[in-house]
Chain A
């Protein structure tokens, strides 16, 4: 009995640690200003207010931020899958030795810290006239997360029996048809997983976004919110800011709850296979 109680307490502590910081933002977001800056601290808002959510909409092009983020993350995931899916299909059928070599090369390329790539990418983006254009982020995001997508997809394709491939080949289907009509539908679960993961990481990215997007209307939600940082950290209106934090993290919260098993297993596969 005591062991079960201790276990339950440990689980609750783990949840409090993981969710506490997020819940605190939500509580602040629905707290009237007077209670945010009240000593001693007010924990529970009474009554809850929606004023901060209205304020961010008026103060900043917040709807545009969300739209930009969705657009960029979606197309980054799509572009990434377009490159990663054929590669993963082929890798799953290679000899283990060759396969591991290619996967390792991809992995090493994904380990370079973004600061190393930042300036050359900036030069390229400027040269192409892509500053403040979504494509300036879509292309690098697709590339930076391509290795992860290939890792996740490859194990999906590997679980499809080779006999299905061969039957389709004997039927005279071309490579493209075999991929699109036969194999991709069978690998849908891992394609969805890879797509969600790339979407999430693209939504979260900050360094490139804050560098390549200078116009407020062009910013992603991550860059838009977090660029208030630094010295201005002490003059921030925390109510609206916490409302913005809540709105920017909410889509991810929902994704995690809806696709919990998929995200956990995808992240694990992507992380562990080294």
Chain B
């Protein structure tokens, strides 16, 4: 058997996929990077000209950018934190054997499979101030005295958007953690039971430490996705009220297609990704550290 020919054959089979990704993903990334160093807008000068780091310089004096960055961080961390908690609870629940488990797992996965933009409308309807079911249920349960205009005020709008995101993406965390739980040998948990550990202790001392890698993977993926969130917020609030839910993605989109300032839009998109990459890198580094010690 000719090993070298096999290897060459392998690369020939991989090359089309690789070139396709290069053309549709890598080239646009280079282009947006280049655009971020240009004066490129259809408002003032029609000609694109080299700007150096002018576009990035503008960021520091742009209060709206700072606010959108704050909103993005707020949205990302609160939704990911809640999702990890809720996703863990659901995963532990669905890991136990019971009749109809496959169907229940599929139904719990459903929110993640539905279109975000469309379910954003569904949530806007649920949160509707006069005819929304959220207000009605909360009032019936005695948790609310008067109806709230959820999407009408800054603080409640952010809460509502986060909640809708939690609904939509918790299944992702649940699935990753379920796979993680399946990787923990039953004998380990059984041994802890025989040692007389209570269920809570078994969870805290045995299951969770072993599940930590999965939690990190789920958290990191969700962090990256939530940080780039667009559909949900664009549809539910359009960034409002008064910019209270405008994320960096939304602000960049506005610069592209409303203000026709392509240079600044590109700089916004690029800096967002750079910040995210740095954060991810820091998290991965931090996660690896304990492993190096032991």
Interface residues of A (CB under 8 A from B): 7, 10-11, 14-15, 17-19, 21-22, 24-25, 28, 36-37, 39-41, 83-84, 86-87, 89-91, 93-94, 102, 106, 109, 111-124, 139-140, 142-144, 146-147, 150, 166, 169, 175, 179, 200, 203-204, 206-207, 210-211, 221-223, 225-226, 228-231, 233, 238, 241-242, 245, 248-249, 252-253, 255-257, 260-261, 263-264, 267-268, 271-272, 274
Contact = CB atoms under 8 A, between A and B. Distances in A.
Contacts of B109: 256, 263-264, 267
B131 A89 contact: no
B27 A120 contact: yes
Contacts of A112: 25, 29, 273
Interface string B86-114: 00001001101010001111111111111
Nearest to A117: B28
B154 to A, nearest CB: 17
B171 A7 contact: no
Nearest to A242: B125
Given A24-B133, A109-B25, A90 B107 contact: no
Given A115-B230, A115-B269, A203-B115, 5 more contacts: A19-B107, A166-B1, A221-B118, A245-B119, A245-B122
Most B-side CB within 10 Å, residue of A10, A15, A115, A143: A115
A238 B126 CA distance: 11
A87 B17 CA distance: 6
Contact of A229 (B32, B175, B214, B236): B236
Most buried by A among B6, B13, B93, B227: B13
Given A18-B108, A245-B122, A253-B110, A86 B115 contact: no
A249 B111 CA distance: 10
B125 A241 contact: yes
Contact of A114 (B7, B227, B228): B228
Contact of A115 (B98, B228, B235): B228
B121 interface: yes
Contacts of A143: 20-21, 23-25
Nearest to B253: A115
Interface in B208-248: 214, 217-218, 221, 224, 227-228, 230-231, 234-236, 238
Contact of B93 (A14, A87, A91): A14
Contacts, number: 275
A119 B35 CA distance: 10
Contacts of B17: 83-84, 86-87, 106, 146, 150
Given A90-B14, A200-B113, A230 B9 contact: no
B51 interface: no
A222 B107 CA distance: 21
Contact of A21 (B96, B126, B136): B126
Identify whether the interface residues of B are mostly helix, strand, loop, or mixed: helix
Contacts of A94: 7, 10
A15 B179 CA distance: 20
Interface residues of B, number: 94
A120 B24 CA distance: 9
Contacts of B124: 229, 233
Interface string B255-283: 01100001001100110110010000000
A36 B130 CA distance: 11
B16 A87 contact: yes
A83 B17 CA distance: 5
B29 A222 contact: no
B32 A119 contact: yes
Nearest to B230: A207
A21 B112 CA distance: 13
A24 B126 contact: yes
Return the 3 tightest CB-CB contacts between A and B, nearest first. Answer: A113-B228, A260-B106, A120-B28
Given A115-B269, A226-B117, A206 B231 contact: yes
9 contacts: A7-B93, A21-B119, A22-B114, A91-B10, A102-B14, A113-B230, A117-B24, A122-B256, A225-B117
B214 A272 contact: yes
A245 B32 contact: no
Interface in B170-216: 171-172, 175-176, 178-180, 214
